[in-house]
Amino acid sequence: MSQTVLILGGGVGGLVAANELRKALPKEHGIVLVEREASFVFAPSFLWLMTGGRTAGQISRPLARLEKKGIELVRGEIERIDADKREAVVNGRALAADFLVIALGAELAPETVPGLAQAGHDFYTLAGAEALRDALARFVGGKLVVLTAAPAYKCPAAPYEAAMLLEYHCRKRNIRERTQIDLYAAEPGPMGVAGPEISKAVRQMVETKGIMYHPEHQVKEADAEARVLKFASGAQAPFDLLAFVPPHRAPRVVSEAGLVGGSGWVAVDRQTMETTHERVYALGDIVSVPLKLGKPLPKAGVFAQAEAEVVAKNIARAITGKGKPAAFDGEGECPSRTSQGTIRRAATGSTQEGPPR
Ligand SMILES: Cc1cc2nc3c(=O)[nH]c(=O)nc-3n(C[C@H](O)[C@H](O)[C@H](O)COP(=O)(O)OP(=O)(O)OC[C@H]3O[C@@H](n4cnc5c(N)ncnc54)[C@H](O)[C@@H]3O)c2cc1C
């Protein structure tokens, strides 16, 4: 009997799941992917786009290409999810399936910090990175501030990489001597989940470039007019140009479906990514996977991809009866570009620790 897999979200995890399932499943089984956007945009390249190294066209691909591969694409906003029924409502239409995969990522919520969206530009969205690129082109020197507005965010390396790329950009434009660069972080140090050695090494890399690093600074308000950040401690930081990572949260539609646990994210089996609902899986930024160290697995595309491969294998096996069971092992690493021609690698996953069984 033919079966249908419904995949919610056409980002990294959703696309990998759809492609892997299409390869593994005979044609009679349907794969339906729902996504609000017309194109997939490769978020890691926002950092290069903001400094002029990429255009939007270079980092985007139309999702309509999925149709040629035999994956049905439904464009629209997911309005409701019913996990018990394995059903989602899109553009007022209910789509039901035998297997449901939720890969809706993390929602960005700059509005939770008063004034933040008005005061600067985020580099976590295409629109934000483009606005920052344009603001950088007008920037002739002054106080450049990079800010993480909450201690946990996807790709723990990104703000550090961004600060170093911005520093390089200022040198290239001969405005470095007139520019003070400060990185205010809500977290206690860079990439804590990678362990103290990597954290120390990244901090050193940042500081060697003359970037002033201020950890444990939780922003509580931004004054766009006075161009000042106000922190919970009472400290303040003036800026001429502000580049920030917004706070993250689970998408509303997932919270309203009652799928979000105490961590603020969807709880899943650490090896199979199955939720507590039968034949309902969640993967990527939307989930929380605790590690042995006590910290959660970082939100990163490398993990969304690996989780999606595991989910696809296990769903294909459940449908066809073929193949071995697959388990997510929590391994991953994150390449970072700090200036022209420099790539440094830092493990962000848990190769040694692994997710506990
Ligand atoms: C600047 C930056 C740099 C990064 N660098 C790296 C890196 O170097 N290495 C790395 O591994 N990771 C990196 N990441 C993180 C990586 O991009 C994410 O972890 C990854 O995209 C997560 O995949 P996902 O499928 O869970 O979510 P996403 O890729 O965010 O996909 C979620 C999809 O769901 C859609 N969606 C959400 N809600 C709805 C709705 N209601 N209706 C319809 N569609 C909806 C969204 O439009 C989106 O397309 C970086 C991220 C950023 C922002």
CA distance 258 to 273: 17
Q: What number of CA atoms fall less than 13 Å from residue 172's CA on the CB side?
A: 13
> What's residue 13's pLDDT?
98
**How far apart are the C-alpha atoms of 28 and 26, rounded to whole Å?**
6
pLDDT grade for 194, boundaries at 50, 70 and 90 = confident
248 CA distance to ligand 1 middle (Å): 11
> Which DSSP state fits 53?
S
SS3 96: strand
**Closest atom of ligand 1 relative to the 308 alpha carbon:** 25
Across 70-76, average pLDDT: 98
Taking the centre of ligand 1 as the mean of its atom positions, its distance from the CA of residue 45, in whole angstroms, is: 12
Please write the tens of the pLDDT for every residue from 277-319: 999 999 999 999 988 767 789 999 999 999 999 999 999 999 9
Nearest CA to ligand 1 atom 35: 9
Residues 243 and 165: their CA atoms lie apart, in Å, by: 12
CA angle 231, 235, 239 (to 5 degrees): 80
pLDDT at position 296 = 87
Phi/psi at 198 (5° precision): -70, -40
Label the pairing between strands 236-238 and 228-231: antiparallel
Predicted confidence at residue 337, as pLDDT, reads 61
Cβ count near 243 (within 10 Å): 25
Flag whether pLDDT at 224 surpasses 60.
Answer: yes
Ligand 1-lining residues (CB < 6 angstroms): 9-14, 34-37, 43-44, 46-47, 77-78, 103-105, 123-124, 154-155, 158, 251, 253, 284-286, 299-302, 304, 334
Beta bridge partners of 231: 219
Q: What pLDDT, on the 0 to 100 scale, is given for residue 78?
A: 98
Predicted local distance difference test score (pLDDT) of residue 162: 98
Residue 195 pLDDT grade (very low, low, confident, very high; cuts 50, 70, 90): confident
Which tens digit of pLDDT belongs to each residue from 125-168?
999 999 999 999 999 999 999 999 999 999 999 999 999 999 99
- The closest alpha carbon to 17, from 9, 67, 263, belongs to 9
Beta bridge partners of 93: 90
For residue 137, the CA-to-ligand 1 centroid distance in Å is 27
The CA-CA-CA angle for residues 311, 331, 129, to 5°, reads 85
Q: Are the C-beta atoms of 259 and 281 separated by less than 8 Å?
A: no
The pTM for the full model equals 0.94
What is the distance in A from the centroid of ligand 1 to the CA of 192?
Answer: 21
Of all helices (H) and strands (E), which one includes residue 236?
A: strand 236-238
Both structure tokens of 69: 């591969």
Which amino acid residue places its CA nearest to atom 53 of ligand 1? 124
